[in-house]
Amino acid sequence: MQLNPRLIAVVAGVVVVTVLSLAFASQGVRNGPTGPYGTVQPETDELLLDLDIQAAYDDDDIVMRFSWPTDAPSLYHDYLVYESGEWVRYGGEADGSAFPLNEDRMTFLLDDGSIDGFEHYGGFMTVFSFTRYMSPEDVDEEESEAAIGQDDLRKMLPDTMEDPSDWRTLRDEDELDGLRQAGYFLDLWHWRSHRSNPIGWSDDQFVFDRRRSDDGEGAASTNFDGDLEQPEWMFDPEQTGQYAMSWDRIQSLDYTLDDPYYLSEDNAVPFDPDHDWQDGDTIPRRFLSEPEGSRAAIFSQANIDDGRWTVELRRALDTGFPEDDKILEEFGRYDLAPAVHAGATAGRWHYVGMPVTLGLGRSADVEAMRFSGDGPDWDAIEPTTVELFYPGVIAWDYLADRQSHSGAGAIESNASFYDAHDEAKMAFYALESEFRDQIMSQWLWTTLVWMVFILGSVVAFLRLAQRYGRHRTGAETIVSDDALRAEEQHA
């Protein structure tokens, strides 16, 4: 029996479209925004990072200890490299798209119960679709500068705006002052491997109407004379055995914590333009000095051992600066949301954790144990492991929008994050958020093609059925005529 060519074509079309759909679906979206995950879909373990947290306190201080694995620790930030008679800046790209010159960082947001919802949603409450790096179209720098005195929008809290989806509705100064005096801000402890840690400090900041630094002077200043187009400081050769670092060694990530990879008051002398500088000579663009004021509240020390960073931070329970620090008390319970920048990335390309409770002498996720003497016995304190995940471009105005996010109602009722998600699911949702437009476009095109194909298939089958019906009817007519003639002949 000979098969109908049209039937063969329809069946072949079904097979081809099905195979192509499965092939594309297995690959996922590959062409997305810039960043570490912009072109290649990472494995699960690349989206997750385990962070160990310990805490202890005495009558005066709280001491926090953080530890996480690192394959390639970064001690670098940005540098000035001598090239053909000029000093050229390298590093500082937020997404790690250029040669990786971004320091490792560990941060956490701390609240004392003043921010409703923070205990469930943590740092997601501080990022919006209009904050920097969250969308391809950044806010116009001139408009931002004129409105808030800052040329980009960083972390901010929802109630500092009349409409939390529009940064232009920032409340007036009197209202903002009232909110801040009432404690509506988040304390931000900001440890940096290059810009403060080498001299024993962590930066002290807070999040309110934007990410702000505490009052006082920070540890890092810019080591560059714009008029002379040269560094202001260089290494003291008597102290360090070098005038400059080696660009080749930096590119090989060859410097360690024991090397002079940073420039500070203790190892620098004024820059000598008459020195015989060679191509590849490298000087840090940041100059470190002891911070001052409220910004000098957090001491730090860190080391790398057996492929792990271990960072210890120490701060007074009561810093004396309640306008930008959360004051801690024995038997108090607080909410802490950690984050880690690893892999020489900056900006939003990092790992975040959902909040955990911190208790001083009381039950909590992280229980701070009382110690005596110079410091805690960390071996006697059980660490709490927090799973961090990649956050993508999931913004608070998106999460709280009923038209965009099916879970917005749960957020309105202040439901727990863990009622709907775990960290692994959030990591993949976050990755999908990077490619939301591409996914929707692919879905729409796939739906359209399948609709056209199904419609075409139905039409083809109907025409085949109609053709078969006519053929069969014709055959029955011939049989009936033959039978009638046979009866007539018999009669």
Instruction: Give DSSP secondary structure letters for 132-169.
Output: TTSSSSPPPHHHHHHHHS-SS-----GGGBSSTT-GGG
The torsion of the CA quartet 311, 314, 317, 323, rounded to 10 degrees, works out to -80
pLDDT at 469: 64
pLDDT at 351: 95
User: Looking at the structure, do residues 287 and 316 belong to the same domain, yes or no?
Assistant: yes
User: Looking at the structure, do residues 322 and 404 belong to the same domain, yes or no?
Assistant: yes
User: Looking at the structure, do residues 409 and 482 belong to the same domain, yes or no?
Assistant: no
Q: Considering all CA atoms of the chain, what is the largest pairwise distance in Å, rounded to the nearest integer?
A: 133
Q: Which of 102, 111, 74, 107 is nearest to 351 (CA)?
A: 107
User: Looking at the structure, do residues 330 and 470 belong to the same domain, yes or no?
Assistant: no
User: Looking at the structure, do residues 226 and 110 belong to the same domain, yes or no?
Assistant: yes
pLDDT at 26: 45
User: Looking at the structure, do residues 24 and 108 belong to the same domain, yes or no?
Assistant: no
pLDDT at 446: 75
pLDDT at 445: 78
Q: How many Å from the N-terminal Cα to the C-terminal Cα in the chain? A: 38
pLDDT at 32: 38
User: Looking at the structure, do residues 78 and 14 belong to the same domain, yes or no?
Assistant: no
- Averaged in consecutive runs of 10 residues, what is the pLDDT profile of the chain (491 residues)? 63 71 51 43 74 98 97 91 95 62 95 97 95 80 77 89 92 96 97 96 97 96 97 97 96 92 97 97 97 97 96 98 97 98 86 97 97 96 96 93 91 88 87 76 76 74 68 60 61 56
pLDDT at 34: 43
* pLDDT tens column, 353-368: 999 999 999 999 999 9
3 state DSSP class of 43:
coil
In a domain, 40, yes or no: no
User: Looking at the structure, do residues 418 and 444 belong to the same domain, yes or no?
Assistant: no
Q: What DSSP character marks residue 281?
A: E
In a domain, 36, yes or no: no
pLDDT at 428: 85
Cite the DSSP H helix spans in 203-300: 237-240, 247-251
pLDDT at 408: 92
User: Looking at the structure, do residues 285 and 344 belong to the same domain, yes or no?
Assistant: yes
Q: What gap in Å lies between CA 182 and CA 148, rounded to an integer? A: 22
pLDDT at 253: 87
In a domain, 397, yes or no: yes
In a domain, 273, yes or no: yes
* Tally of structural domains, the chain: 2
In a domain, 325, yes or no: yes
User: Looking at the structure, do residues 309 and 449 belong to the same domain, yes or no?
Assistant: no
User: Looking at the structure, do residues 288 and 177 belong to the same domain, yes or no?
Assistant: yes
Query: Which residues partner with 437 through β-bridges?
Result: none
What's CA 227's distance to the chain center, in Å? 36
pLDDT at 481: 58
Q: Could you tell me the residue range of the domain that residue 465 belongs to?
A: 5-29+440-490
User: Looking at the structure, do residues 334 and 420 belong to the same domain, yes or no?
Assistant: yes
pLDDT at 22: 62
